[in-house]
Amino acid sequence: MFKVSKQQQNRSYGRNSFLKGISCVDCVNESCLIKKNLLSSTVFNFSDKKTEIKCKKGQQFIIEGAPVNGLFFVLKGKVKVYRTGINGREQIVRFANEGEIIGHRGFGTEEYYSIGAIALEDTILCYFSKNILQEALKKEPSFTYDLMLFYADELNRSEAKVKTISQMTVRERVVDTLLYIHRKFSNKNEFLDLPLSRKEYADYAGTTEEQVIRIFSALKKENLIATKGKKICIVNLALLKQEISEHNFYLDS
């Protein structure tokens, strides 16, 4: 679609290539808050200073405990963000889609990342160093404001998740996870457009792989969902929503 030659060039470097890539002007991610603020000359000049990072499926690009140097934006692909708990259990904090920000919690005074991030499919990231970003944020209020809205939204989501984990039954948490993935990653035919393993569903819902499998097969029997290997289809969205509606759940991405 755009700048094919650049992509081919990237490919020839194999994994882990760090090089200058597609300009923000040509980016297709309208939801990206850099793209949205590109009319500002500050942001425009700043956008030129990004580094493009290519990740293969399954590749980790943020390691828990590593020093924070900057911020990632997802140009293309999907990513999971997690924390490791006791005896190595992963807690998936969130999934990030194209145009979203990763590593922002460590921004500011934090010295080390408290989260890890792994690409769920082949992914291209835009990386900005902390200093460059800080300069742009100080100069351009509307850009800063957009980022603030993003932080507020993240906080809201995080608070809602506390309640999910502490007050919902396992079944409700799994249903909630399905609805979350559906809101965020479904395409039109109700198939979830994200190849997650049962374990990854469990890590997000705060339960075990076995429970997820048991609940999936129960939901299948009740004709609420259908599965084909990793592909999962929401059959009866309304009924699933009804299951967790008493938790007066907020509905957003």
Amino acid making up residue 145: Y
Instruction: Verify binding: residue 230, DNA, rule CB under 7 A.
Output: yes
**DSSP state, residue 102:** E
Name which position in 93, 127, 216, 234 contacts DNA (CB under 7 A). 216
**Is residue 28 close enough to count as binding DNA by CB under 7 A?**
no
**Spatial CA neighbour of 206 closest among 241, 170, 251, 245:** 170
- The span from the CA of 138 to the CA of 31, in Å, is 22
Instruction: Kindly determine how many residues on this chain lie close enough to bind DNA according to the rule CB under 7 A.
Output: 18
Cβ neighbours around 168 below 10 Å, total: 20
Closest CB to DNA among residues 119, 133: 119
d(C-alpha 163, C-alpha 71), whole Å: 28
What length is written for the chain?
Answer: 253
198 counts as binding DNA under rule CB under 7 A: yes
**Cα(75)–Cα(241) distance, integer angstroms:** 31
The yes or no reply on residue 59 touching DNA (CB under 7 A) is: no
Binders of DNA in range 146-185 (CB under 7 A): 169-171
Cβ–Cβ under 8 Å, residues 111 and 81: no
Q: Among residues 84, 217, 245, 253, which is the contact residue for DNA, using CB under 7 A? A: 217
Instruction: Give yes or no for residue 60 binding DNA (CB under 7 A).
Output: no
For DNA, the closer CB: 49 or 198: 198
One residue of 83, 105, 130, 199 binding DNA per CB under 7 A: 199
Give the binding site for DNA (CB under 7 A). 169-171, 197-199, 207-211, 213-214, 216-217, 227, 229-230
